[in-house]
Structure 1
Amino acid sequence: MKKKHLLLFIVSVALLIFSCNSKQDVTTTNADVVIYGGTSAAVTAAVQLAKMNKSVVIVCPDKHLGGLTSSGLGFTDTGNKVVIGGLAREFYQRVYSHYQTDEAWQWEKREEYGNTGQGTPAIDGDKRTMWIFEPHVAEQVFEDFISENNISVFRNRWLDRENGVEKQNGKIISITMLNGEKYQANIFIDATYEGDLMAAAGINYHVGREANDVYNEQWNGIQTGVLHHGHHFGNMNISPYVVPDDQASGVLPRISTDDPGIKDDGDKRIQAYCFRMCLTKVPENRVPFEQPEDYDPAQYELLVRVLNHGWRQTFNKFDPIPNHKTDVNNHGPFSFDNIGMNYDYPEATYERRAEIIREHENYQKGLLYFYATDPRIPAEIQNEMQQWGLAKDEFTDNGNWPHQIYVREARRMIGEFVMTENEALGKSPVPHSVGMGSYTMDSHNTQRYITPEGFVQNEGDIGVHPHQPYQIALGSILPKQEECENLLVPVAVSSSHIAFGSIRMEPVFMILGQSAALIAGMALEKETPIHDIQYEEIKPKLEAAGQVLEHQEME
């Protein structure tokens, strides 16, 4: 089946680029604050500014708001839910309210759902919060936030990353889209996963893994021989060659022949991306898996060898969400993470990013189709997979496929303060908290390589859990003042690779988006640069807005 929507996406981007040279009807929009990006952080930032009676617009490439929160990641990575406050908590309270209605349970009875979350209850009845939800429910909550606060959203707007940022005296004056539209503001917020506005504004950033000696860390850098989470080949001793153990026969697809590098060194590799698919077994709501374009069963030969070895955890991360649906994530040595196929994504052109997204989509659809149809799949697994399909009532304008790829990591700003594992693990104090994180420092695999012994192995999957929730520094959302005085970056935050593995959770992005906006609003009211506001003034405002800035677990 041809992917018309992806082709249209690529064509539309190309047309936008060509239109750069034809700006006869340029429009200019003015606001106190312009937010670039359509993530969950963008929404909470906009709502906070609206509550402060500041004029704000969201300008984003996205058609759908909410990023991964509304694009399949419904089995929320919460960590310690106590430290999720403010508008983030309100989001989950609104989800709770939705599922209190009978109308919310179309394909499942409420009492059948259960109450399973990520090591914690999915529903906190006493707190009136719900942490597990369907994609369309999350998107509706975001859209309600927008409509209730009369926030203008300009969708399908793509920043001219080459020439679209105008700066004067260290400040961004305006940003221009590929269609020629210009947006002027006193303060800007980059709420993209990619950090596109930040980079176009000339802010320093990092892509890839830092060496451990850069920030005196243990879990950053290349991690050959470190096997966490079970997303690796362990001691399976699987041959990477087309003809097993015959190097002359060539290497199987999706295995790198590059040297993996020296342990603890830095590199330019980034953790794998995937789509968080929403699947169902309900026959009336199920769309069977179809053969994608350019389907090649040889791409999945490595999976056959894993299954032949006896691995049987295919369905371990088909996590239940309401209405007999799942949030499906990567699991195991060969799964939905498209390892090694995204290295150039963070800085790629829009056209190249579209190609990468398309390749990831075809890979995952091909993997599902392979599971469901290839005769080499064990019968018990194949029979189970044939009962699953895409949820017909999700992503209805995108072929029931998630509209946002999981950009687990792209650019990361090098700002006023760099968060590292030392802060996340409580080894170093954090100055000036603007929110808290608590989730495991979680990096997915970055490469699949051949070991010196001649076997295939994955590398880069790390999971190290902080003993306590940790504070996130104000300086991590601020560029260095000499680089830009009126930009806040609550998503592509200033942190090391491994610290970002914990910070990158969607509730944290919502928290940081709200905090960034509150600081922007204060700067406007005081007519003071954002870097010059004293934290003693910021902290009570954040707490009044419901943000949790400090928390100590009982020993």
Structure 2
Amino acid sequence: MKNSFRFTSWFVFLSLFSCRSSEVKNHLNIITADIIVYGGTSAAIASAVQASRLGKTVVVVSPDKHLGGMASGGLGFTDTGNKAVIGGIAREFYQRVYQHYQKPEAWRWQKKEEYGNKGQGTPAMDGTERTMWIFEPHVAETIFEDFVRENKIPVFRDEWLNRENGVQKKNGKITSFQTLSGITYAGKMFIDATYEGDLMAAAGISYHVGREANSVYGEEYNGIQTGVLHHDHYFKKNIDPYKIPGNSASGLLPLISPENPGEKGEGDNKVQAYCFRMCLSNHPENRLPFPKPDGYDSTQYELLVRVFDSGWRELFRKFDPIPNRKTDTNNHGPVSTDYIGMSYDYPEATFERRQEIIKAHETYQKGLLYFIATSKRIPKEVQEEFNTWGLAKDEFTDNGNWPHQLYVREARRMLSNYVMTENETLGRKPVNNPVGMGSYSLDSHNIQRYVKPDGYVQNEGDIGVHIKEPYQIGYGAIIPKKQECQNLFVPVCLSSSHIAYGSIRMEPVFMILGQSAATAAAQAIESKKAVQDVDFTKLKEQLLKDKQVLTKPASTF
């Protein structure tokens, strides 16, 4: 991975800070701070902000150039669940979104009163609580940059962990890690806030990739889910999977696996499908035509044609409205933007291989848009409506108006002494030492596409199970086993089963857990204790002081 952050730029930047022991230090390619945060996600920024507010020196080491991860990468139609359990810095983020859209100049392509105020089950904009949950990508990124600037947090961008031998440990603690640029980051506490869990893995922490069998944790919705059809992301009618319909000798259409999907309830090493959350516009002055990507192959979309031919017409179901006549467009239907089956090796892949996977997802998804926009095989009325949309000209302007963040819905998940499962999320088991709350449905996208015994195609792995009330997330889920590491927090790739992670993996929750991780890190430094030995009573006191929500509220807002 080529690194573009030059020595001179970070040296000059850090020279703005004095070299007293209480501040960030820069000596001979070694950056030292109390807390080192690896990642550029929303959780990373929440962690760094909290660390700074608690008087600790902190640096963010980000592989990404843009801050905010999916929160600024296209996921503007926030997956909130019960908004009453979103507190602390996470709620502050959404309050800043609200404040932005109170300004008349924020409404460039649409009058404020024309915006439908549509959110997930509740209004997008809540004036009583001064929060707004739906937003444009560039607005989110600006807020994260404001957080960094206001708290004077050094951010090192385009810095990639040396995963082979870059992590140094001594006496059960990480002492430093090195990036591929040759810079070493040394600290007292470390927070892995990446979607992939690279620092966690490189530090020798136990983790899992894929679905556990239901028998492992006594679950129902974790393992292989053949025959379980939730949401609308499955084939409701019989669709022939073969290149020549009815002729199995002709071979399968693209993106259909020839493998047996496995036994229901058993585990596997597959992960749910990824995609890009697209920001589209239907304003003529802010709309760009869908481009034909390099490597375009129209045969990749034959299955979609057959779905349309069966009478399916739900293409626009997930063109969710965000301000200024734009969308957060997500996967919807049996054949859509999810690149099913093409993300399996991403979690463990090298940086170079991940870039190939990301590019393949981009090519597939751009090709899908171009195909729908131009192919004569698309129903005329669908195509005409589709072509009223295009890429938003004023979003992702340095990336061809394409999102800079692939939606990595899950990758590695830490395996600690405490594992969040569907039993905790559904209220069947109590949670000890809560450091945050979740409330979104158990939600997994499809994991494989296969041929059923009757000879027709079907998707497998999509789960949507409603959660009746918010649940707590235990402190033990964001810390590793003590014998593996005593100064690391993992608020994103936390210890969770596949299906429990399907609810936890929401951006507000990541910010909540990032703030809690930084709070515990600060207290571990002050008490000179391992993260596993932090006094939870004291931790809880600080979390509540900083407006985190740790118990089910009496009402929603």
**TM over 0.5, shorter chain:** yes
Which of 81, 85, 88 lines up with 2:87 in the alignment?
A: 85
User: 1:429 Cα shift?
Assistant: 0.4
Aligned residue number for residue 506 of structure 1: 507
Q: Which amino acid aligns with 2:354?
A: R
- The answer on whether the counterparts of 2:412 and 2:493 sit within 8 Å (CA) in structure 1 is yes
Q: Which amino acid aligns with 1:184?
A: A
Partner Cα separation in structure 2 for residue 279 and residue 297 of structure 1: 22
Partner Cα separation in structure 2 for residue 464 and residue 202 of structure 1: 34
Aligned residue number for residue 414 of structure 1: 415
Q: Which amino acid aligns with 2:228?
A: V
User: 1:96 Cα shift?
Assistant: 0.2
1:245-290 deviation line (CA, Å, top 9, x unaligned): 1101110001000110000000011000000000001111111001
Aligned residue number for residue 202 of structure 2: 200
- The answer on whether the counterparts of 1:13 and 1:351 sit within 8 Å (CA) in structure 2 is no
Partner Cα separation in structure 1 for residue 246 and residue 229 of structure 2: 23
Partner Cα separation in structure 1 for residue 323 and residue 417 of structure 2: 42
Partner Cα separation in structure 1 for residue 54 and residue 541 of structure 2: 15
1:108 aligns with 2:122: no
1:165 aligns with 2:172: no
* 4+ runs deviating over 2 angstroms: 12-16, 552-555
User: 1:148 Cα shift?
Assistant: 0.2
- The answer on whether the counterparts of 1:14 and 1:351 sit within 8 Å (CA) in structure 2 is no
Partner Cα separation in structure 2 for residue 136 and residue 283 of structure 1: 20
User: 1:39 Cα shift?
Assistant: 0.3
User: 1:552 Cα shift?
Assistant: 5.3
User: 1:554 Cα shift?
Assistant: 7.4
User: 1:458 Cα shift?
Assistant: 0.1
Which of 54, 69, 72 lines up with 2:71 in the alignment?
A: 69
- The answer on whether the counterparts of 2:5 and 2:158 sit within 8 Å (CA) in structure 1 is no
Partner SS for 2:189: strand
1:393-446 deviation line (CA, Å, top 9, x unaligned): 000000000000000000000013100000000000000000000000100000
Aligned residue number for residue 535 of structure 1: 536
- The answer on whether the counterparts of 1:33 and 1:188 sit within 8 Å (CA) in structure 2 is yes
User: 1:523 Cα shift?
Assistant: 1.1
1:329-350 deviation line (CA, Å, top 9, x unaligned): 0000000000000000000000
Q: Which amino acid aligns with 1:340?
A: G
- The answer on whether the counterparts of 2:84 and 2:553 sit within 8 Å (CA) in structure 1 is no
Aligned residue number for residue 36 of structure 2: 34
Distance 1:129 1:214, change over 3 A: same
Aligned residue number for residue 4 of structure 1: none
Q: Which amino acid aligns with 1:267?
A: D
1:177-224 deviation line (CA, Å, top 9, x unaligned): 011100000000000000000000000000000000000000000000
Partner SS for 2:215: coil
Distance 1:26 1:160, change over 3 A: farther
Aligned residue number for residue 3 of structure 1: none
Aligned residue number for residue 21 of structure 2: none
Alignment of 1:24-63 (within 5 A): 27-63=29-65
User: 1:527 Cα shift?
Assistant: 2.0
Partner Cα separation in structure 2 for residue 28 and residue 226 of structure 1: 52
Partner Cα separation in structure 2 for residue 271 and residue 342 of structure 1: 7
Aligned residue number for residue 391 of structure 1: 392
Partner Cα separation in structure 2 for residue 342 and residue 26 of structure 1: 39
- The answer on whether the counterparts of 1:38 and 1:59 sit within 8 Å (CA) in structure 2 is yes
Aligned residue number for residue 244 of structure 2: 243
Q: Which amino acid aligns with 1:470?
A: Y
- The answer on whether the counterparts of 2:38 and 2:191 sit within 8 Å (CA) in structure 1 is yes
1:293-350 deviation line (CA, Å, top 9, x unaligned): 1111100000000000000000000000000000000000000000000000000000
Aligned residue number for residue 98 of structure 1: 100
How many percent identity over aligned positions?
A: 65
User: 1:537 Cα shift?
Assistant: 1.4
Q: Count residues with an aligned counterpart.
A: 536
Partner SS for 1:277: coil
User: 1:72 Cα shift?
Assistant: 0.3
Distance 1:121 1:526, change over 3 A: same
Partner Cα separation in structure 2 for residue 36 and residue 290 of structure 1: 34
Which of 139, 142, 159 lines up with 2:141 in the alignment?
A: 139
Q: Which amino acid aligns with 2:115?
A: Y
Aligned residue number for residue 264 of structure 1: 265
1:153-192 deviation line (CA, Å, top 9, x unaligned): 0000000000000001110000000111000000000000
Aligned residue number for residue 484 of structure 2: 483
Partner Cα separation in structure 1 for residue 388 and residue 513 of structure 2: 40
- The answer on whether the counterparts of 2:3 and 2:181 sit within 8 Å (CA) in structure 1 is no
State the TM-score, normalized to the length of structure 2. 0.95
- The answer on whether the counterparts of 1:26 and 1:180 sit within 8 Å (CA) in structure 2 is no
Q: Which amino acid aligns with 1:172?
A: I
Partner Cα separation in structure 2 for residue 440 and residue 434 of structure 1: 19
Partner Cα separation in structure 2 for residue 311 and residue 187 of structure 1: 52
Aligned residue number for residue 254 of structure 2: 253
Aligned residue number for residue 294 of structure 1: 295
Partner SS for 2:485: coil
Q: Which amino acid aligns with 1:515?
A: S
Q: Which runs of 5+ in 1 are unaligned?
A: 1-9, 17-24
Partner Cα separation in structure 2 for residue 27 and residue 438 of structure 1: 43
1:126-167 deviation line (CA, Å, top 9, x unaligned): 000000000000000000000000000000000000000000
- The answer on whether the counterparts of 2:470 and 2:552 sit within 8 Å (CA) in structure 1 is yes
Which of 118, 122, 125 lines up with 2:124 in the alignment?
A: 122
Distance 1:155 1:13, change over 3 A: closer
Partner Cα separation in structure 2 for residue 176 and residue 480 of structure 1: 23
Which of 183, 186, 208 lines up with 1:184 in the alignment?
A: 186
Partner Cα separation in structure 2 for residue 70 and residue 15 of structure 1: 22
Alignment of 1:291-440 (within 5 A): 291-440=292-441
Partner SS for 1:213: helix
Q: Which amino acid aligns with 2:229?
A: L
Partner Cα separation in structure 2 for residue 399 and residue 313 of structure 1: 28
Partner SS for 2:214: coil
Q: Which amino acid aligns with 1:272?
A: A
Partner Cα separation in structure 2 for residue 82 and residue 191 of structure 1: 24
1:509-537 deviation line (CA, Å, top 9, x unaligned): 00000000000011112222221112111
Partner Cα separation in structure 1 for residue 426 and residue 488 of structure 2: 28
Distance 1:72 1:15, change over 3 A: closer
Distance 1:553 1:376, change over 3 A: farther
User: 1:553 Cα shift?
Assistant: 6.0
Partner SS for 2:279: strand
Aligned residue number for residue 281 of structure 2: 280
Aligned residue number for residue 11 of structure 2: none
The CA RMSD over aligned residues, in Å, is 1.4
Partner SS for 2:217: coil
State the TM-score, normalized to the length of structure 1. 0.95
Partner Cα separation in structure 2 for residue 416 and residue 492 of structure 1: 15
Q: Which amino acid aligns with 1:79?
A: G
Partner SS for 1:202: coil
Q: Which amino acid aligns with 2:53?
A: K
Distance 1:468 1:344, change over 3 A: same
User: 1:26 Cα shift?
Assistant: 5.8
- The answer on whether the counterparts of 1:37 and 1:190 sit within 8 Å (CA) in structure 2 is yes
Q: Which amino acid aligns with 1:207?
A: V
Q: Which amino acid aligns with 2:208?
A: H
